[in-house]
Amino acid sequence: MPPRLLADYIVEDGNVVDVEGGRAPYESDAQLAYLVKSGYADLVITEDSDLLLFGCKQVIFKLDLTGSGTLIAWSAGIGEKCCGIASQEFSPANLRFMGILSGCDYFPGIPRIGLATAAKVSVLALNQLKCSFEVIHFSFEFGSVWRSPLLCR
pTM score over 0.75: no
- Last residue of a domain, which of 53, 73, 93? 73
pLDDT tens string for the chain (153 positions)? 444 555 555 555 544 445 566 777 778 888 998 998 898 888 888 887 778 888 888 888 888 777 788 888 776 556 666 666 676 667 777 778 888 888 877 788 888 888 788 888 888 887 777 777 777 766 666 665 555 555 555
82 and 138 together in one domain: yes
67 and 9 together in one domain: yes
Residue 104 CB partners (closer than 8 Å, separation 6+):
49, 50, 53
Split into its structural domains, the chain has a count of 2
45 and 86 together in one domain: no
State in Å, rounded, how far the first CA of the chain is from the last one.
Answer: 48
Residue 153 included in any domain: no
Task: Supply the pLDDT for residue 91.
Answer: 75
Residue 24 included in any domain: yes
56 and 117 together in one domain: no
